Structure formats: structure tokens, C-alpha cells
Amino acid sequence: MLDAFGQPQSAVVLGGTSDLAGAIVRALAHRRLRTAVLGGRNEERLALAARAASAEGVREVRTVQLDATDVAGAARAVDECFDAAGSVDLVLVAIGVLSHERDELDPARTAEVVTATYSWPAVALTRAAAHLRDQGSGRIVVLSSVAAVRVRRQNFVYASAKSGLDSFSIGLREALHGTGVVVQIVRPGRVPTKMTEGLPRAPLSTTPDAVANAVVAGLASDTPIVWVPASARWALAAARLVPQSLWRRIPG
């Protein structure tokens, strides 16, 4: 069960091998997390993430193999994760694929990015929401991005998909109002992880631990949107007003 500070005892992590998810699981383990089910595509990386979670004190760690390009299999994958977990206090969605200028005109790449970043997570969230609603309680935390708020050329395929997922999650939050299930959206700035390897530092950069701490603090409230860093909220409010001609020239 969630405690008075919204801290979960059991979690399903979709994208269990993600660097950010790793940091979040670590922070949750230092609070109340005892059971974690990590879902991911690569067995070796899953085993590694599972070992890391155990080392942080999570008593029961299980892994479920899933592929986020297989939209038809999303609901089944989520069922499997719930079966493995027993009761679930938190569902964390951390799957995402970044796009780059170099592959922006490659249809196959667009399909992968959009599917793994938006379509699959949206279907998975739909299923997870149904499970939690039946349970009568639970949290869903969706890793969105500041990129979702104002799309930029450098990664517009990814950003548009995040934008879709972000809007989907806001809608889902509304839809679940009063059911005991609360959806929270996390919008980090750029974080050095394997996703962003080789990219230059950008404004609004942050760290995996800062994201994890913000998630833990966010759970204690039921705030809809967690910005990391907190200042990103105001920066992005301003960014919405910047004309495209200028926006294009801001580095990031």
C-alpha cells in the first residue's frame, strides 16, 4: 500500500533498464519499496537492473520481457507485470526512444520512435489504469519531458510523441479522478543518461538523482506535473511565447 507520503511498497517499472528508472527505484528503495517488477526488452540489461535494485534493498525483484515496438502485445505485457507483482502501488513508465536530426527523414525510425515513445506506452497505460482502478488505489508516474511542451527541430519526432504521451496522461489523470488512482507527469530537462549520450549540455539540464528526488517528493503531494529542475516550469511558460524564428536559434 501507499503510505501517507505516497510512497509505494510495490512498483511495476515499464522501461526497467532505463537510467532514470534506475535512479528512481533506488530512491524509492530507500523509502518503502520492497517489491519491483522490471519490464524491458533485453534480458542481460534487465538482470543487471534487477541486481542493482536488490542491492539497494528491494526484497523481491522480478523481470518481465517486453518489446515496446509490439503495440499489440502491450496489454498482455502489462498483465504479466501485474501478475508478477501481486498488488501494485506504483506504475512507472520510463520507455522512450530519442530521435535525431540524422534520422528524421527515415520512416522506419519514425515508426520506432513514435511507437515506443507514444503508442505502446499509451496502450500499456490504458491497461495499467484498468488494473489499478479495480484495485481501488495506486499511482501512475509517467516520464514525459520538457521537450513535450515546446517541440524543437533537433528531436521533433521524439518530442511530438512525448507531447502525445503527455497529453494522454493528463487526460487519463482526469479520467481516473475519484477512483483512488492518481496519475502524475514528470517533465525533466535534459539528463545525462544513455539516451542522451554524446549530446551537448542544454539549458535546464539536470541529473538522474535530482529527477528521482523530485519524483519521491512529488508522490507526497498529488501534484499533476513535476518539473525537474523546478525552474523549468517558468522557463517553459516563457518558451511558449517565443516566436518560432527565435526559438529555432536557442541552443538545446
Partner 1 sequence: MARGLGRSYGDAAQCSGGTVVDMRSILGASDVSGGEVEVGAGMSLDALLRRALPAGWFIPVTPGTRQVTVGGALAADIHGKNHHLDGSFARHVSAITIATPTGLRRVSANEDAELFWATAGGMGLTGIVTSARVRMLRVETDRMLVDTDRFSDLDAVMSAMEAGDARYRYSVAWVDCSGPAISTRQRAPGLRAGRAVLTRAVHARLEDLAPAERRPPAAPPRPALGTPRRVPRGLLNRLSIAAFNEAWYLRAPVHREAEVQSMWRFFHPLDGVADWNRLYGPRGFVQYQFVVPEKSGDVVAAVVRELSERRLPSFLAVLKRFGASSPGPLSFPMPGWTLALDLPIGPQALPTCLDRLDAMVAAAGGRVYLAKDSRLRPDLFSTMYPRLEELSSVRQRVDPAGLMRSDLSRRLGLD
Ligand X SMILES: NC(=O)c1ccc[n+]([C@@H]2O[C@H](COP(=O)([O-])OP(=O)(O)OC[C@H]3O[C@@H](n4cnc5c(N)ncnc54)[C@H](OP(=O)(O)O)[C@@H]3O)[C@@H](O)[C@H]2O)c1
Contacting residues toward ligand X, per CB under 6 A = 15, 17-20, 40-42, 45, 66-69, 94-97, 116, 143, 145, 188, 190-191, 193-196
Distant-in-sequence, close-in-space partners of 243: CB < 8 Å, separation ≥ 6: none
Measured CA to CA, the distance from residue 233 to residue 16 in angstroms comes to 27
In the block, residue with C-alpha cell 522506419: 108
Please classify residue 49 by burial: count the beta carbons closer than 10 Å to its beta carbon, then call 0-12 exposed, 13-18 middle and 19+ buried.
buried
* Cα 241 from Cα 65, distance rounded (Å): 43
Minimum CB distance to partner 1 smaller for 179 or for 207 = 179
Q: In the bound complex, what is the minimum distance in angstroms from residue 51's beta carbon to partner 1?
A: 22
Q: State which residue, 180 or 231, has the beta carbon closest to ligand X.
A: 231
User: Could you write out the DSSP letters of every residue in 73-85?
Assistant: GHHHHHHHHHHHH
Decide which of partner 1, ligand X, none touches 110; Cβ closer than 5 to 8 Å per partner kind. none
Give residue number: closest CB to ligand X.
96
Which residue among 158, 173, 190, 191 is the active-site one?
A: 158
Residue span 97-136 as binding mask against partner 1, x where in contact by CB under 8 A, dash where not: -------------------------------------xxx
